[in-house]
Amino acid sequence: MGRSILIVDDEPVMLETIKYFLENAGLEVVTATSANEALEILKKRSFHVMTLDLQMPGMSGLELCRHIRRENSISWLICLTGYRSLFDISECRDAGFDDYYVKPPDFPLLVDNVIRAFERIERWKKT
Protein backbone atom coordinates (compact mmCIF):
# COMPACT_ATOMS: atom_id res chain seq x y z
CA MET A 1 0.00 0.00 0.00
CA GLY A 2 2.94 2.37 0.56
CA ARG A 3 2.71 5.74 2.19
CA SER A 4 -0.40 7.18 0.63
CA ILE A 5 -2.69 9.44 2.58
CA LEU A 6 -6.26 10.58 1.98
CA ILE A 7 -6.97 14.24 2.72
CA VAL A 8 -10.65 15.26 2.97
CA ASP A 9 -11.39 18.98 3.14
CA ASP A 10 -13.96 21.19 1.40
CA GLU A 11 -11.70 24.28 1.53
CA PRO A 12 -9.59 24.27 -1.68
CA VAL A 13 -6.78 26.43 -0.26
CA MET A 14 -6.43 24.28 2.86
CA LEU A 15 -6.61 21.09 0.80
CA GLU A 16 -3.87 22.25 -1.58
CA THR A 17 -1.67 23.55 1.25
CA ILE A 18 -1.82 20.27 3.17
CA LYS A 19 -1.21 18.37 -0.06
CA TYR A 20 1.84 20.52 -0.84
CA PHE A 21 3.48 19.87 2.55
CA LEU A 22 2.77 16.14 2.53
CA GLU A 23 3.93 15.62 -1.06
CA ASN A 24 7.16 17.46 -0.22
CA ALA A 25 7.63 14.90 2.56
CA GLY A 26 7.53 12.15 -0.07
CA LEU A 27 3.97 10.95 0.48
CA GLU A 28 1.42 10.11 -2.18
CA VAL A 29 -1.59 12.34 -1.51
CA VAL A 30 -5.13 11.62 -2.66
CA THR A 31 -7.71 14.34 -2.04
CA ALA A 32 -11.47 14.55 -1.66
CA THR A 33 -13.59 17.66 -1.22
CA SER A 34 -16.48 15.95 0.59
CA ALA A 35 -17.24 12.96 2.75
CA ASN A 36 -19.23 11.37 -0.07
CA GLU A 37 -16.30 11.72 -2.46
CA ALA A 38 -14.03 10.20 0.18
CA LEU A 39 -16.36 7.22 0.58
CA GLU A 40 -16.28 6.65 -3.18
CA ILE A 41 -12.48 6.69 -3.12
CA LEU A 42 -12.46 4.31 -0.13
CA LYS A 43 -14.55 1.80 -2.11
CA LYS A 44 -11.62 1.50 -4.54
CA ARG A 45 -8.59 1.79 -2.26
CA SER A 46 -7.67 1.80 1.36
CA PHE A 47 -5.49 4.19 3.32
CA HIS A 48 -3.78 3.70 6.66
CA VAL A 49 -3.58 7.44 7.37
CA MET A 50 -6.26 10.04 6.66
CA THR A 51 -6.99 13.64 7.62
CA LEU A 52 -10.63 14.65 7.79
CA ASP A 53 -12.09 18.13 8.00
CA LEU A 54 -14.95 18.22 10.49
CA GLN A 55 -17.21 20.93 9.10
CA MET A 56 -18.25 19.96 5.56
CA PRO A 57 -21.55 20.19 3.69
CA GLY A 58 -23.55 17.00 3.82
CA MET A 59 -21.85 14.38 5.96
CA SER A 60 -19.59 15.82 8.65
CA GLY A 61 -16.08 14.65 9.38
CA LEU A 62 -17.35 13.09 12.62
CA GLU A 63 -19.83 10.95 10.70
CA LEU A 64 -17.17 10.05 8.14
CA CYS A 65 -14.77 9.07 10.92
CA ARG A 66 -17.37 6.78 12.50
CA HIS A 67 -18.04 5.16 9.12
CA ILE A 68 -14.32 4.60 8.48
CA ARG A 69 -13.85 3.12 11.96
CA ARG A 70 -16.61 0.57 11.29
CA GLU A 71 -14.78 -0.54 8.14
CA ASN A 72 -11.14 -0.08 9.16
CA SER A 73 -10.19 -0.05 12.81
CA ILE A 74 -6.43 0.18 12.23
CA SER A 75 -6.29 3.43 10.22
CA TRP A 76 -4.82 6.52 11.85
CA LEU A 77 -7.41 9.30 11.56
CA ILE A 78 -6.48 12.94 12.02
CA CYS A 79 -9.10 15.61 12.66
CA LEU A 80 -8.73 19.10 11.19
CA THR A 81 -11.15 21.82 12.19
CA GLY A 82 -11.52 25.54 11.90
CA TYR A 83 -14.41 25.38 14.36
CA ARG A 84 -12.87 24.54 17.71
CA SER A 85 -15.97 25.77 19.54
CA LEU A 86 -18.27 23.39 17.62
CA PHE A 87 -16.23 20.21 18.03
CA ASP A 88 -14.39 19.39 21.21
CA ILE A 89 -11.55 16.93 21.49
CA SER A 90 -13.50 14.40 23.55
CA GLU A 91 -16.26 14.25 20.92
CA CYS A 92 -13.61 13.66 18.26
CA ARG A 93 -11.91 10.92 20.32
CA ASP A 94 -15.28 9.25 20.89
CA ALA A 95 -15.89 9.25 17.13
CA GLY A 96 -12.55 7.49 16.60
CA PHE A 97 -10.03 10.21 15.76
CA ASP A 98 -6.41 9.61 16.81
CA ASP A 99 -5.20 13.21 16.54
CA TYR A 100 -6.71 16.72 16.49
CA TYR A 101 -5.57 19.98 14.85
CA VAL A 102 -7.13 23.42 14.70
CA LYS A 103 -6.77 25.16 11.33
CA PRO A 104 -4.44 26.39 10.20
CA PRO A 105 -2.28 23.66 11.69
CA ASP A 106 1.42 23.90 12.35
CA PHE A 107 2.25 22.26 9.00
CA PRO A 108 5.71 20.91 9.92
CA LEU A 109 4.23 19.37 13.08
CA LEU A 110 1.37 17.86 11.08
CA VAL A 111 3.83 16.36 8.58
CA ASP A 112 5.99 14.93 11.41
CA ASN A 113 2.94 13.36 13.05
CA VAL A 114 1.71 11.91 9.75
CA ILE A 115 5.13 10.32 9.18
CA ARG A 116 5.03 8.90 12.74
CA ALA A 117 1.54 7.53 12.07
CA PHE A 118 2.88 5.62 9.06
CA GLU A 119 5.77 4.33 11.19
CA ARG A 120 3.31 3.11 13.85
CA ILE A 121 1.18 1.31 11.28
CA GLU A 122 4.29 -0.30 9.73
CA ARG A 123 5.45 -1.43 13.18
CA TRP A 124 2.00 -2.86 13.96
CA LYS A 125 1.98 -4.80 10.71
CA LYS A 126 5.29 -6.49 11.69
CA THR A 127 3.95 -7.87 14.97
pLDDT digits (tens, 9 = 90+) for 78-98: 999 886 655 677 888 888 899
Q: CA–CA separation, 90 vs 95, rounded Å?
A: 9
DSSP, collapsed to helix, strand or coil, labels residue 56 as: coil
User: How far are the Cα atoms of 2, 5, 61 from residue 44, in angstroms, in the given order?
Assistant: 15, 14, 20
Q: Report pLDDT digits (tens) over 39-88.
A: 999 999 999 999 999 989 999 999 999 999 998 878 999 999 886 655 67
pTM of the model: 0.91
